Structure 1
Amino acid sequence: MMMNLFSIFDPTSKLFNLSLNWTSSFLGLIFLPQIFWYIMPRSSMILFNIMEKFHYELKSLLGNNNTKGSTLMFLSLFILIFFNNFLGLFPYIFTSTSHLSMSLTMAFPLWLSFMLFGWLKNTNHMFAHLVPQNTPSILMPFMVLIETVSNLIRAMTLSVRLTANMIAGHLLMTLLSSMGIYTPTPYIMILLIIQIILLMLESAVAIIQSYVFMVLSTLYYSEVN
């Protein structure tokens, strides 16, 4: 029995007294062997075409800061988040990206490495970045404060944005599905149509949020380099 609404985001699935919740994060590995087929399957061709488009887009975002292999890290992040978001839409599969422990684990090391690299290697650039160009002298102390706070909360905003968007859609779908018991029979079809529309929107959110996480991480990297 569901004790509260948020219990759907922390199910208790155990085997030999070991939690099986987080094993859902590795379900995406079942798609990897398709890459090694003699004739590439259509799903892998679509994935490779998408990755190629994103690779050129990230190169344009990085500009002169682009180095060999720099886009691979952000593309890997996109694939990881996308698979976890999308698999979480299937029944009885734990949505790991709806937990801060997952999203913050990805965002915080990225933010910390960018900050350390920027302040150790490009100190003058980081100080100059605290005050935007053509800022009036009277506003400079406030701009330094605002930019400092903005830099400090970037890891939290990255992770909370992903987690909150995944939780919101799942909560709405759970609320509507729980109404099915009390809904009169003539309105069941309307409820099903609404659920299907929400599922399509959640599929779009799964792609958009992974794309946003990738692009923002790339922009943060380009700012400190």
Structure 2
Amino acid sequence: MTLNLFDQFLSPTLLGIPLIGLALLLPWLLFPKSRLRWLNSRLIQFQNWFVIRFTNQLFLPINQKGHKWAALLTALMLFLISLNMLGLLPYTFTPTTQLSMSMAFAVPIWLATVLIGFRNQPNVALAHFLPEGTPTLLIPVLIIIETISLFIRPLALGVRLTANLTAGHLLMYLVSYAAFALISIMPTVAALTSILLFLLTILEVAVAMIQAYVFTLLLSLYLQENTYGPPSTRMSYS
């Protein structure tokens, strides 16, 4: 019996070795790779179509200099989707339910976008702390608020990803435990609870994909704020 519901989110170990490393390496082994042949399989074709569509949609409002981040953000989104989806399987572990892991994804990329903004357009980056036309009395307060807002962004990214996945996993655990406990007492209620668990699982699959997309989308918006120049035309891949 689980004494603490949050014990299921502890990183499992085998012979003293944390298995979180295996969970981080496994997704890259599942992606099919292109072969030296004329026609690819349907799975590879779908994967290529998905990557191209996602990259076009994500970098549409970003200028040409920001397109250097396309490979990084696309790979990050695919990696997060894989981690979140694999975590829904029985007897598996979801690394993104650890706040430290989510922060490890959010902080470096957020910091890189901020440093790019201060390097390429320092005046514009500093202007975000003090909008034009601010009353003199509100200048110190507004600068403090904008500074806190800037540094809270990576925390919000990590907490959003972790909290959504943790809440869904806890809810699935509680519903499944209720269905198992009621199966011998009230079979009808247990069957209805099992249906609810099935619907909740479908919802969690959607949440796993949406949260990975939102995480990457917000990072792209931070990148857009810190890249200069007008947005370029749609990226084209052939």
| Cα distance in 2, alignment partners of residues 100 and 75 from structure 1 | 22
Please say if residues 11 and 19 of structure 2, whose CA atoms lie closer than 8 Å, have aligned partners that are also in contact.
no
| 1:87-116 alpha-carbon deviations (Å, 9 max, x no partner) | 101111110111112111111111222222
Aligned length: 223
Please say if residues 11 and 18 of structure 2, whose CA atoms lie closer than 8 Å, have aligned partners that are also in contact.
no
| Cα distance in 1, alignment partners of residues 34 and 133 from structure 2 | 51
| 1:194-222 alpha-carbon deviations (Å, 9 max, x no partner) | 01110111011011101101110011111
Q: CA deviation at 1:82?
A: 0.5
- SS of 1:30's equivalent in the other structure is helix
Aligned to 1:123: 122
- SS of 2:88's equivalent in the other structure is coil
Please say if residues 61 and 218 of structure 1, whose CA atoms lie closer than 8 Å, have aligned partners that are also in contact.
no
Higher relative contact order by CA 8 Å / sep ≥ 6: 1 or 2?
2
| Cα distance in 2, alignment partners of residues 160 and 171 from structure 1 | 16
Q: Mean alpha-carbon deviation: is it higher for 162-171 or for 131-140?
A: 131-140
Aligned to 1:151: 150
| Cα distance in 2, alignment partners of residues 64 and 146 from structure 1 | 31
Letter in 1 for 2:61: L
Q: CA deviation at 1:58?
A: 2.2
Aligned to 2:191: 189
Q: Note the aligned Cα RMSD (angstroms).
A: 2.0
TM-score scaled by length of structure 1: 0.90
Unaligned stretches of 5+ residues in structure 2: 228-238
Letter in 2 for 1:81: L
Structure-to-structure mapping, 1:140-179, within 5 angstroms: 140-179=139-178
- SS of 1:61's equivalent in the other structure is coil
Please say if residues 83 and 96 of structure 2, whose CA atoms lie closer than 8 Å, have aligned partners that are also in contact.
yes
Letter in 2 for 1:8: Q
TM-score scaled by length of structure 2: 0.85
Structure 1 residue 102 and structure 2 residue 104: aligned? no
Structure 1 vs Structure 2: percent identity of aligned residues? Answer: 34
Structure 1 residue 62 and structure 2 residue 39: aligned? no
Letter in 2 for 1:77: L
| 1:2-53 alpha-carbon deviations (Å, 9 max, x no partner) | 2210011115340x43222331222212223443374423222222212111
Q: Which runs of structure 1 show a deviation greater than 6 angstroms over 4 or more consecutive aligned residues?
A: none
Greater helix percent: which structure?
1
Please say if residues 81 and 210 of structure 1, whose CA atoms lie closer than 8 Å, have aligned partners that are also in contact.
yes
Q: CA deviation at 1:135?
A: 4.4
Unaligned stretches of 5+ residues in structure 1: none
Structure 1 residue 221 and structure 2 residue 223: aligned? yes
Aligned to 2:88: 89
